[in-house]
Structures are given as structure tokens and as C-alpha cells.
């Protein structure tokens, strides 16, 4: 008899993801490094959780009613989550995405039934940035929709962070039996990092929390020197924040690391090759951060991080030898080979 439950709908399949021991990272550090397999959510990313938190919050507040529209600016994963979860709640989705995001995420959104609006990738200070664009679009659609339109506002609605504190942190605590010394994550909205930090620190103040930031983000500089300063660029998607979002307010990590792309990319490739875990590059940033925290805490500790989204979302980039070469990033031999030899 299998004790996996029968769920009454797909939204109930969001969360309760496995915690997986990461073999090489653990062996390399003498610690137990565990990855929360968020790519196993129905929409294949950690952002399915935020989609549930944000939609349920909007419905509860009466910001939108069933039959209405949910509008959001997103690097793609939140849009995928909102579109799937929206179907369960009878909400259509209008998704505003910067044109730099992967073709696979855009195609997925179209297939799922989102109305997709692609905008040029411009900084947050520009009024045409995807976040501001999506807020204005929500207002315009709301004015003509009988059931309303709600802007999900993932960056600045603390329902995102609170949901992670209530669910993801609680799951991690239960799954490790409270035997956890550190937690590491990168930041898009900050909901994952600040929410899980809040939840875990509530259980045990001694849990060390670290930020893993890609180049081009300003948070590493902020948490180490007090200045929001961004330098460089990154091929990672969904992470790399330039400001203190509402979800980050009142939060501070114990440690902060900046992870270069070549390191994050090599870890992500190796994780697939050696362990059969296929994820995107933000997960490589997280694991690199977990390895740094493990080295700082010393052997014998348990450190948890997030396996953020599925790698098949990045076939044309992270898993494309030509793309990697053009960016000056390492290409693993198995990816460089035109065709594998038949064994």
C-alpha cells in the first residue's frame, strides 16, 4: 500500500516537495547539504508556491473575484504558477515578461493560456520596467473587467514571504527533524529567502541564513557594505535584485556571497551529469552559496538550499553549447559532443 495521498485538485500538489541530499556538495564539505526540490511542483518551480499565496490573498481581500484577471510582471516562473493556479480559481492571467527571458518560458506561458506581453528589459527606475508596466496594465484591465483585475505584486506583497514562512520553512523543519544549521538562497522577490529565514529563525534563532547573489544584483553589496550597488551581468534568470523589496524589509542575512556565473553554471551542469538533477542556473548559485556556508560553519552541519526550477526551461541557454561558448562560460564535454557515441 502506497501512502501518497489522493489530492482533490492540482493546487494541493503545490509544496510538500522532497528534500534531497546533494552528494558532491556534501562530500566536498563534510556537511549534509540538502536541496528542497521545488522544480517538482506542478509548474516546475518554487514560484508555484507564491502563485498560491498571492492568488488566495487577492481573493480573500476581495481584490479580484472568480471570473476575473490576475496580472503580473515576472521573469516567467511566477507567471507559469499564476496561470496554472489561476485556472483552479477561474482567473485568467495576463503576464508581462522582459524580452531577455528564455524562449522556453515564454512558449510555456503561451501554451498554458496566459496572455503574454513582452516588454524591453529596462531598469526598475524606468517607468516602462516590467513591474511598473504590469501595475498599470492591471489598473487598465480592472477598469473594464466586471470581476476585476488584480496586480499580484509578488515583489512587494508580503503574502509571498509569509506563505514561505508558513509552508516551506515548516516543511524543512519537519523534514530535517529540526536538525538544520544553515539555510541559503538567492533572491528575486526575496519571498523565498526572507520567508524561510523568518520561519526557521522562529523555530531556532541559531540557524544561520545566507544570501547567494549573482553578478548584476545589488544585495550582496548592500548586506556587506550597506550600499545598494550592482556590477556585472549574469545569465541566471529569476534572481538578481537591485532594491530592498517589501518582502526583504526587516530581514538581514548572517552571511552574503556573490557567485560568479562560471561557478554556478559548472555546478548546475555537474548536478545533472553526476546526480541526475536537472535544474536552472539559479540553483547553481544556491548550491555554490551552500558550499560556502558549509565551509564557514565547518564539517558535520546540515545546510538546506532551494532547487528552484526545472532545467528544461533553459535548453536554449544553460544547456546549449553555442550559447555558453558565446558567453565565455564552461561547456561540459557531454554537452559539447554533437552526438553521443552509442555504447
CA nearest to 168, candidates 22, 11, 288, 14? 14
38-97: which residues touch ligand PMP (CB under 6 A)?
A: 45-47, 75, 77
C-beta closer to ligand PMP: residue 29 or 282: 282
Q: Which of 47, 105, 208, 317 is catalytic?
A: 47
217 or 301: CB nearest ligand PMP = 217
**β pairing state of 115-119 and 69-73:** unpaired
Residue 187 binding ligand PMP, by CB under 6 A: yes
CB of 72 to ligand PMP, least distance (A): 11
Site string for ligand PMP, 98-137 (x = CB under 6 A): ----------------------------------------
CB nearer to ligand PMP: give 137 or 248.
248
Interacting residues with ligand PMP between 237 and 256 (CB under 6 A) = 237-239
The Cα 254–Cα 242 span in angstroms is 19
Among residues 108, 192, 268, 305, which is the contact residue for ligand PMP, using CB under 6 A?
192
Number of residues that bind ligand PMP (CB under 6 A): 20
208 is a catalytic site residue = no
Is residue 307 a contact partner of residue 42, using CB atoms and an 8 Å limit? Answer: no
275: left (phi over 0), alpha (psi -120 to 50) or beta: alpha
Residue 75: CB minimum distance to ligand PMP, A: 5
Q: Which one of the spans 196-204, 211-219, 233-241, 335-343 is the region binding ligand PMP (CB under 6 A)?
A: 233-241
In the chain, what are the helix, strand and coil shares in percent, each to the nearest 5? Answer: 45, 15, 40
Q: Which residues lie closer than 8 Å to 161 by C-beta, 6 or more apart?
A: 190, 191, 194, 195, 198, 247
Chosen residue from 309, 318, 319, 329 binding ligand PMP by CB under 6 A: 309
Write out the DSSP string of 81-140.
HHHHHHHHTT-EEEEEEETTS-HHHHHHHHHHTPEEEEE----TTSTTSHHHHHHHHHHH
Residues that bind ligand PMP (CB under 6 A): 45-47, 75, 77, 186-193, 237-239, 280, 282, 308-309
Q: Which residues are catalytic?
A: 47
Amino acid at each position: 500500500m502506497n501512502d501518497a495521498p489522493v489530492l482533490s485538485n492540482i493546487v494541493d500538489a503545490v509544496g510538500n516537495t522532497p528534500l534531497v541530499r546533494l552528494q558532491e556538495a556534501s562530500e566536498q564539505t563534510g556537511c549534509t547539504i540538502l536541496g528542497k526540490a521545488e522544480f517538482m511542483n506542478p509548474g516546475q518551480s518554487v514560484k508555484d508556491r507564491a502563485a498560491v499565496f498571492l492568488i488566495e490573498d487577492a481573493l480573500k481581500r476581495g481584490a479580484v473575484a472568480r471570473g476575473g484577471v490576475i496580472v503580473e510582471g515576472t521573469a516567467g516562473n511566477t507567471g507559469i504558477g499564476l496561470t496554472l493556479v489561476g485556472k483552479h480559481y477561474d482567473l485568467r492571467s495576463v503576464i508581462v515578461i522582459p524580452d531577455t527571458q528564455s524562449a522556453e518560458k515564454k512558449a510555456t506561458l503561451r501554451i498554458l493560456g496566459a496572455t503574454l506581453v513582452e516588454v524591453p528589459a529596462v531598469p526598475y527606475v524606468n517607468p516602462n520596467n516590467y513591474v511598473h508596466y504590469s501595475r498599470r496594465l492591471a489598473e487598465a484591465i480592472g477598469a473594464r473587467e466586471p470581476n476585476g483585475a488584480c496586480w499580484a505584486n509578488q515583489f512587494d506583497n508580503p503574502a509571498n514571504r509569509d506563505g514561505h514562512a508558513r509552508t516551506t520553512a515548516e516543511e524543512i523543519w519537519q523534514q530535517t527533524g529540526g536538525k538544520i544549521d544553515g539555510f541559503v538562497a538567492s533572491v528575486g522577490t526575496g519571498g523565498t529567502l526572507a520567508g524561510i529565514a523568518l520561519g526557521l529563525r522562529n523555530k531556532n534563532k541559531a540557524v544561520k541564513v545566507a544570501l547567494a547573489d549573482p553578478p548584476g544584483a545589488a544585495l550582496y553589496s548592500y548586506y556587506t557594505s550597506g550600499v545598494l550597488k550592482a556590477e556585472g551581468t549574469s545569465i541566471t534568470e529569476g534572481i538578481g535584485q537591485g532594491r530592498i523589496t517589501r518582502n526583504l524589509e526587516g530581514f538581514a542575512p548572517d552571511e552574503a556571497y556573490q557567485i560568479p556565473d562560471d561557478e554556478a553554471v559548472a555546478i548546475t551542469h555537474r548536478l545533472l551529469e553526476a546526480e541526475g538533477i536537472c535544474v536552472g542556473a539559479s540553483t547553481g548559485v544556491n548550491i555554490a552559496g551552500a558550499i560556502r556556508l558549509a565551509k564557514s560553519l565547518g564539517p558535520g552541519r546540515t545546510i538546506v538550499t532551494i532547487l528552484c526550477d526545472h532545467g528544461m526551461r533553459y535548453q536554449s541557454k544553460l544547456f546549449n553549447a553555442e550559447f555558453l561558448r558565446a558567453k565565455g562560460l564552461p561547456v561540459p564535454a557531454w554537452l559539447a559532443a554533437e552526438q553521443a557515441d552509442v555504447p
